[in-house]
């Protein structure tokens, strides 16, 4: 953890954020470590939610709480194929993405997870893109998710 903490502080010094992949169910365990970061951090793969556990799963509720109370916390909407318990078209994972977007629409970004390493069901990236209107039906929110928020997080010039 000493080496990790040095990297976190170095990233903060140069204006970078930290991308964090957490094992399923571990958000509560790491929440206090994450909130102590001196820079923005992105929780990858929607906190590795498991759709089979439902929206009231304590780990998912901890993620929503962390996202709500720590303005340094961003979440990447990615990996619906991993979160899904039912498989294609992965609709059982949509409510999790929607809840995260509704919870902090200015601190979510989107990704494909291409090339999809270690997945049970290989998704078609077009199918992944087709899910966006299900969890972000509003075009203004879609623009935040796909353009405005990444622009701010990565420090790109506004389009």
Q: Catalytic: which of 113, 125, 138, 148?
A: 113
C-alpha to C-alpha distances, 88 to 29, 52, 61, nearest whole angstrom: 31, 14, 25
Could you give the strand order of the β-sheet that contains 73-77, starting from the edge strand earlier in sequence? 18-20, 41-43, 73-77, 108-110
d(CA 123, CA 73): 28
- CB distance 116 to 79 below 8 Å: no
70 is catalytic: no
Q: Using CA of residue 46, residue 136, residue 53, residue 119, what is the dihedral sign?
A: negative
Residues 6 or more apart in contact with residue 155 via CB below 8 angstroms: 15
Q: Which residues are catalytic?
A: 113
């Amino acid at each position: 953890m000493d080496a990790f903490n040095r990297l976190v502080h170095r990233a903060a010094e140069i204006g970078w954020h930290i991308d964090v992949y957490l094992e399923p169910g571990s958000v509560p365990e790491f929440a206090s470590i994450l909130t102590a970061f001196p820079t923005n951090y992105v929780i990858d793969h929607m906190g590795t939610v498991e759709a089979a556990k439902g929206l009231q799963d304590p780990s998912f509720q901890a993620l929503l709480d962390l996202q709500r109370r720590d303005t340094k916390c961003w979440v990447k909407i990615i990996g619906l194929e991993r979160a899904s318990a039912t498989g294609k078209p992965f609709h059982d994972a949509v409510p999790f993405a929607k809840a995260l977007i509704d919870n902090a629409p200015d601190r979510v970004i989107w990704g494909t997870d291409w090339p999809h390493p270690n997945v049970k069901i290989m998704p078609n990236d077009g199918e992944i893109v087709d899910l966006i209107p299900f969890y972000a039906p509003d075009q203004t929110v879609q623009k935040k998710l796909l353009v405005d928020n990444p622009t701010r997080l990565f420090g790109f010039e506004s389009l």
